Amino acid sequence: MREAMFWEKAADDKVKCSLCRFRCLISVGHRGVCGVRENRGGVLYTLVYGQSIAENVDPIEKKPLFHYHPGSLSYSIATVGCNFRCLHCQNYEISQWPHDKSGIPGHELPPEKIVRDAKAAGCRSIAYTYTEPTIFYEYAYDTARLAHREGLGNIFVSNGYTTPEALEHIAPYLDAANIDLKGYSEQFYKEIAGATLQGVLETLREYKRLGIWLEVTTLIIPGRNDSEADLRGLAHFIAKDLGAETPWHVTAFYPTYKLLDAPRTTVGTLRKARKIGLDAGLSFVYVGNVPGEGGENTYCPSCEQVVVERQGFRIGTQRLKDGHCGFCGTVIEGLGMG
């Protein structure tokens, strides 16, 4: 347990948390929506500092980040907890633990050891992932500063609900992020995640403003966020507000957790989403969760040749030279591209 960052005192010993966009007002003895930040005697504490629930060495493509040092490894860590309540969460056993079960599980893993282990495993970066990194911000922040000093990159895989002030504070140490843009309607966000679309859009703009390399993922759920209007809205927002160079990952849904009534996403729907993205002017649109489709290859937006070949999370032939297409010389945006 450690005193939290980004909070202030309020009346009657309540505290106002300003770490995520819910900006919870928390009474003594209670926690915020994340379930891991608690008011004890008028002071806000994080309950998960140094308490890792998962750590793995992952391909960077698993995040997914396709334009950040392709083919590299990322040391991935998480604690329990999340500020969203997504009905289709793939990691609900750890993200929803503080809401569904008692106690705060995890084992002690200090930032110094994370950095040592990441370097020993040959990782290029550390990814704060699996659950929402914002809710273990203090832990991630201290780790990211150490990693930065040791020449490692730092990555958030996030739902995009961090406040501007918290994001700006960690931005000097944060190299890249993949943000879930789950849909393009307020109703969808309210029903599926318990959050607001507008809050996520504003956070995405903040990432762009701060110069953090950004990739966006949308899990396409049949009957929920797969209408042509929704897909066009998503694509146009990314192209207009984040830039045509921003990769968009459209991925297939599989029934899980509390969303078991929706069918799997068809390949045809994913192909339609990819075409909508390209028609909106996006340079890089990827199709995920459907191996063998070729939708995970990076194509040059000018000559349309394959410049990074992928098979699942494996990298095949790369035809990049110092961040340029090896065929026609067009810039392929990203970090560590070739």
Domains of the chain: 2-46 (no CATH), 51-300 (3.20.20.70), 301-338 (no CATH)
Distances (CA, A) of 228 to 9, 67, 114, 176: 46, 27, 43, 29
Give the CA dihedral 268, 272, 273, 279, nearest 10 degrees.
160
Q: Letter for the amino acid at 9?
A: K
Q: What angle do CA 207, 96, 89 make, to 5 degrees?
A: 65
User: For the chain, what is the largest distance between any 2 Cα atoms, rounded to a whole number of angstroms?
Assistant: 66
Instruction: Answer for the pair 331, 324: CB distance below 8 angstroms, yes or no.
Output: yes
| Token pair for 135 | 């809710």
Q: What pLDDT is attached to residue 322? A: 94
Tokens 């990952």 belong to residue:
249
Question: What global pTM score does this model have?
Answer: 0.97
The three-state secondary structure class of 183 is coil
Nearest-Å Rg of the Cα atoms of the chain is 20
The rounded distance, in Å, linking the Cα atoms of 145 and 278 is 37
What are the φ and ψ backbone dihedral angles of 229, each rounded to 5 degrees? Answer: -65, -45
Q: One digit per residue, pLDDT tens: the chain, 338 residues?
A: 899 999 999 999 999 999 999 999 999 999 999 999 999 999 999 999 999 999 999 999 999 999 999 999 999 999 999 999 999 999 999 999 999 998 999 999 999 999 999 999 999 999 999 999 999 999 999 999 999 999 999 999 999 999 999 999 999 999 999 999 999 999 999 999 999 999 999 999 999 999 999 999 999 999 999 999 999 999 999 999 999 999 999 999 999 999 999 999 999 999 999 999 999 999 999 998 887 777 999 999 999 999 999 988 889 999 999 999 999 999 999 999 98
Specify the 3-state DSSP secondary structure of 132. coil
- The whole-number pLDDT of residue 40 equals 98
Nearest in space to 188 (alpha carbons), one of 248, 230, 132: 230
What per-residue confidence (pLDDT) applies to 47? Answer: 98
pLDDT (0 to 100) of residue 159: 98
For residue 232, the model assigns a pLDDT of: 98
Contacts of 265 (CB under 8 A, 6+ apart): 220, 221, 222, 226, 251, 252, 253, 289
DSSP-derived secondary structure letter, 48: -
Q: What span, in angstroms and rounded, lies between the C-alpha atoms of 179 and 163?
A: 14
- Report pLDDT for 326: 97
| pLDDT score at 297 | 95
Alpha-helix residue ranges (DSSP H) falling in the chain: 92-95, 97-100, 111-120, 137-149, 164-170, 186-192, 197-210, 228-237, 267-279
> Residue for token digits 């966006």?
216
What is the tally of helices (H) and strands (E) in the chain?
9, 21
Q: What is the 3-state secondary structure (H, E, C) of 57-126?
A: EEEHHHCCCCCECCCCEEEEEECCCCCCCCCCCCCHHHHCHHHHCCCCCCEECCHHHHHHHHHHCCCCEE
